[in-house]
Structure 1
Amino acid sequence: MEVMGWKGRLYWFVELVTMLAVVQLMWIGLTLLGLVVFGIGPATAGIFQVMRKRLQGEDDLKTLLKSYWQTYKKEFIDANKIGVTLLAFGYFLVVNFRIASSIGGMHGLAMMTLLITILVLYVFLVINIFPVFAHYDLPFSRYFSASVLLSLSFPMQAILSFIGLYGLYRVFLFIPGLLPFFGISLTVLFLAWMADRIFNMKGKMDGTLQAEGK
């Protein structure tokens, strides 16, 4: 029988906290299983899939963890393509920022301006690409363009995402003991929730994402 009133709310809260902690530990384990570099992509794809299902009303922890493991195995190659590409491009940006900082004059300023613009687009990409990957079946390259397009099409939601992420950062800075158990899972839940709002508003994104949901 469904628990109502304050007991029901308490049960919901405890169940959510437990789910977040367990899923975070699983993310850490699966990332290590892939030797970090080859594990972080599929582990992140899996946790976004779990949060998507959670937002859709699935609350059975065993079912969610089973889905996580299945997603990790099924999407291992494709998620690694995305993860390794993001890591490689991030490294490229770091190297070029160091080069630009050593160049003086107008050339250095122009290069730094260009790199900052690319960095903003890269942040948009990182925030949205795994939610897009969890929701849609697309050709590999279109995950990148669609992720940037989401932020450009909904700038207010992009700004709110940044504000929310900053708020979480302040919380974890104030209570660092939360990081090992909720740092990733709570952040992903927030980003998945924001992406779900965007997908609902956009519908089929005016024909841009003509694909069946996963």
Structure 2
Amino acid sequence: MTTKLYQFSCFYLNLIALNFLWLIGCLLGGILFGIAPASVSLFSIYKEQDLSLFQSPLVLSKAFFQNYYREFKQANLLSGMISLLGLFLWFDYQLVITQRDIFSLVIKYLLIVVIYFSVIALLMFIPIYLHFDLPKVRYFLQTYIFVLTSPIELFLLTLMLGGMYVTVMYVPLWILPIYISGQVVLISKIMDRRFLQLQIFTKNGQ
């Protein structure tokens, strides 16, 4: 019992530190150019460090900023491509909702489905980026393939989105210091499950 409590305390404190580092990383990039590398770095730290053990803030900071500066250019380039895709979908949706004919109504609901899948794809994107070594455009294709072929992960990430809303609206403030880093843990665990399934499937297919 004491060991479990210690591990939970270490885990929670490490998440607070990572949440704080993420905020610093966002500010260093002027927010606009800081969010993507800070988020990639956060996912990387989760993969590299055992957060159930106490990690010195200096160790976490060093690892975070090493990943941050190494991924700064690539992460922002991919983030720009994602933003362009998002703007394209948003403008299409704004155009369609002004129309009243049956064809536009069908397109509107199709766009809603595409936007929903794209939001889930966004949550999956960084774990896929860190797991696979692919050409830039292939990351987008691979992410949408994961969305369409991973119904359990799709369901779990949808639940997580609902949980994010409930957390902000109703849950006590003690959760908020780990709001971003906690989401990274949940997304990583969901995606690691899928990666393990693929690894087993690949081995069995050989």
**Match among 33, 39, 46 for residue 51 of structure 1:** 46
SS of 2:180's equivalent in the other structure is helix
- 1:164 corresponds, among 149, 153, 160, to 160
- Cα distance, 1:81 vs. partner? 1.3
Unaligned runs of 5+ in 1: 1-5, 208-214
TM normalised by structure 1 equals 0.84
CA distance in 2, matches of 1:159, 1:74: 33
Distance 2:60 2:135 in 1: 26
Structure 2 Cα separation of the partners of residues 82 and 204 of structure 1: 29
Matched, 1:110 2:102: no
Q: Name the aligned partner's letter for residue 22 of structure 1.
A: A
Paired position in structure 1 for 2:13:
18
1: CA distance between counterparts of 2:200 and 2:62? 29
Unaligned stretches of 5+ residues in structure 2: none
User: How far is the alpha carbon of 1:58 from its aligned partner?
Assistant: 7.3
Greater Cα offset, 37-46 or 53-62: 53-62
Q: Is the 8 A contact 1:172 1:179 kept in 2?
A: no
CA distance in 1, matches of 2:108, 2:191: 30
Cα deviation for residue 65 of structure 1 reads 3.0
Name the SS of the counterpart of 1:112 in structure 2. Answer: helix
CA drift of 1:76 comes to 0.8
Structure 2 distance, partners of 1:53, 1:186, is 16
- Structure 2 CA distance, aligned partners of 1:95 and 1:179? 35
Aligned 8 A contact 1:41 1:83 in 2:
yes
Give identity over the alignment, percent: 25
**Hey, what does 1:101 align to over in structure 2?**
97
Residue in 2 aligned with 1:35? Answer: 30
Name the stretch that deviates more: 184-193 or 57-66: 57-66
Q: Look up the match of 1:124.
A: 120
The CA deviation string for residues 74-121 of structure 1, in whole angstroms up to 9 with x for no partner, is 111111112122223223322222221111112321331231232123
Answer yes or no: is the 8 Å Cα contact 1:165–1:187 preserved in 2.
Answer: no
Taking structure 1 as reference, are residues 205 and 97 closer, same or farther at Cα in structure 2, changes over 3 Å only? farther
1:57: how far off?
7.3
| Cα shift at 1:37 | 1.4
Cα contact 1:132–1:147 (8 A) shared by 2: yes
Q: Deviations over 1:135-182 (max 9, x none)?
A: 222211111111111122221221122113323432332126246512
Which residue identity does 2:171 align to in structure 1? I
